[in-house]
Homo-oligomer: A and B are copies of this chain.
């Protein structure tokens, strides 16, 4: 690690707090960098602006490819901007590589937002584990808030456990569904419907309007059946058309009702729990990475995993041996 040449350029924090888009873009580039000196600068920057964060509505949006996430965000974002909001859009897609991931390719579907000074769109950080991508997105969210964006949307295309990662960093997780229901759900992973705070059937227009109404009613009764009722909030199923805009303002209204329902204390509680979970996932990720990269562990691991999967050795014994290779002796548990 280089000598502590740490503190962020003062201009960057100032620019960020002044809401300069270039400062925000540079801050996120710093946050996304894997260079140790950049990480230190990023941390110093975040520490400095932290008191000016937390004042946005943090929304997660997910749904299968083609459901209309980009189109929805374009229409929804335009409506919010018209009401005076500033909207930032970030993406989580651990599969995205140098191409810049899905959002960049989707910028054509978010042309209005992409051009608007009151909006800020940033593709997923490229590469890395979900844990790494999630951390950088969380930190970028703070940077957006420091720059005065009061609605931050985190979009995910649903790779690996990314929906859970997104739900764990936002105030409200919105799931977009197709009007056709049932079979179309094949792309949605187990448990995702159950973490949604709000379900919206998109493409409720033209030929599909009727199917969308039916699907929404069916989803609503299915959710009533399968979702535990929390005191504060019963997950509603809405319909909208990202294409025509019908129903889109109602989504924002429902988000308002949700915020009222859980209240300031509920929100503070959710965010405190998320921050604590984030702390532990950072710790956990680092410990596991160190373990995996330890030379003796790295050498023994493939054979150990194979033997465990073939049932030739108990996982307990294999774990103990690998931990010994890492330098950790067994102790009374």
A-to-B contact residues, CB < 8 Å: 1, 34-36, 39, 43, 46-47, 50, 53-54, 128, 132, 135, 138-139, 142, 181-183, 185-191, 193-195, 218-219, 221-229, 271-273, 275-276, 278-279, 282-284, 286-291, 304-305, 308-320, 322-323, 328-333
Contact = CB atoms under 8 A, between A and B. Distances in A.
Contacts of A132: 333
Given A36-B332, A190-B195, A314 B228 contact: no
A272 B312 contact: no
B288 A328 contact: no
Contact of A288 (B50, B227, B287): B287
Interface centre among A54, A132, A283, A317 (most CB of B within 10 A): A283
Contacts of A284: 284, 287-288
B228 A46 contact: no
B191 A312 contact: no
Chain A contact residues, majority secondary structure:
helix
Nearest to A331: B36
A50 B313 contact: yes
B279 A305 contact: yes
Interface centre among A228, A329, A332 (most CB of B within 10 A): A228
Given A186-B229, A191-B194, A276 B309 contact: yes
A268 to B, nearest CB: 9
> Top 9 nearest A-B pairs by Cβ distance?
A282-B319, A222-B222, A222-B225, A279-B315, A272-B309, A278-B315, A287-B287, A191-B191, A190-B194
